[in-house]
Amino acid sequence: MNILWVKDGKIGHEKQVKALLDEVSKSLEVSITEYVVRPFSTQRFLWCLFKKPAFINNDFDIIIGAGHSTYSKILNFKKASKKKALAIAVLVPSLFKNRFDLICAPSHDSYKIKNTNNVIFFEGSLAKVSDCEPRSDIGFIALGGQNNHYKFDESHILKQIKYMLSLYPSKTWYVFNSRRTSKKMNDQLSSLANENDNVLIVLNDDANTDISFDETISSASLKLISQDSMNMVYEALSSKGTTYVFDMDSISKDNKIVNQINRLISNRDIGSIEYLNMADGLTKMQLKPQKEFNDVYAEVEKLAYKLLQKLNK
């Protein structure tokens, strides 16, 4: 099966599509061609939709991508496909939803879709599933940064990191930042690593590091994730071990990301750090754990199975 993967260069989008294609490739022999698009704009979206496709002579069976920059190209390439390839959008396009043969959409975006005949829903975010047994000596911390969903209070986050380190001093802690993490936060993390021999900071722009995010998250027995990154939360839940999220104040109570994370916490599908009010305005941190027997999330496996059923019809 020949697949054209239209990419937008955003790691959060590309990791979800890769996880899905890797899962599909376990059941089908696939050949994947990659095409990278330029950043999204409404004018460029419409221009790409109607211009002559670059891949005018192709035999792709599937054209797939995630992110607004990719969707017009997917439809554009579909028009030129010799086999009338299936156009698949991962996540929800803003325009021309009915022109896609299939939309793979997170359930928290269901309000964006009126006609669901061409939609397969999944929970949260797509992530590679790992059944590896975690190592008791490894801890994992992943941080986002400024965002539209939560207040990212650097000092509040740092206090919680120090709290977790104090509870588990025998673990080696790998701390991963992101492109959204501020210089102030990165500087504080560097100071923390200088003060603690068991803390390693892995910067997202460090091309020289040989420490793998995916390998570390799957091997860590304890994980602490900032709530602002849905992708990182579900990557943690898609592997064994115990996962907690930081205490963070939401910017808006009526927010799809906030509501989704709150559901995970209230159902105890994920653990959390809580602040308890003590006497005289004092507060105390404590861990609110996950349910004792939590299954590894396997949303990408469920989605791949449904996709393969559609392809076999």
pLDDT digits (tens, 9 = 90+) for 46-86: 555 556 555 555 689 999 999 999 999 999 899 887 778 89
Whether 181 and 75 share a structural domain: no
Q: Which residues contact 272 (CB under 8 A, 6 or more apart)?
A: 244, 245, 246, 247, 265, 287, 288
Helix residue ranges per DSSP H, the chain: 11-24, 42-50, 68-80, 154-167, 183-195, 213-219, 230-237, 256-266, 299-311
Tell how strand 31-36 and strand 199-202 pair up.
Answer: unpaired
Whether 53 and 119 share a structural domain: yes
Mean pLDDT across the chain: 91
Its domain, for residue 211, covers: 135-288
4 DSSP β-pair partners: 33, 63
pLDDT digits (tens, 9 = 90+) for 211-231: 999 999 999 999 999 999 999
pLDDT of residue 223: 98
Tell how strand 283-288 and strand 271-277 pair up.
Answer: antiparallel
Measured CA to CA, the distance from residue 302 to residue 24 in angstroms comes to: 11
State the average pLDDT over residues 173-197: 95
Measured CA to CA, the distance from residue 88 to residue 99 in angstroms comes to: 10
- Cα angle: 115, vertex 67, 151; to 5 degrees: 100
The three-class DSSP label of residue 188 is helix
* 3-class SS shares of the chain: helix, strand, coil, % to 5: 35, 25, 40
Measured CA to CA, the distance from residue 275 to residue 219 in angstroms comes to: 28
Q: Per the structure, how many domains does the chain have?
A: 2
pLDDT of residue 32: 95
Tell how strand 242-245 and strand 271-277 pair up.
Answer: parallel
Domain annotation covers residue 208: yes
- The amino acid present at 250, given as its one-letter code, is S
Whether 110 and 181 share a structural domain: no
pLDDT of residue 49: 56
CATH code of the domain covering residue 214: 3.40.50
Tokens of 91: 């996540």
Whether 16 and 153 share a structural domain: no
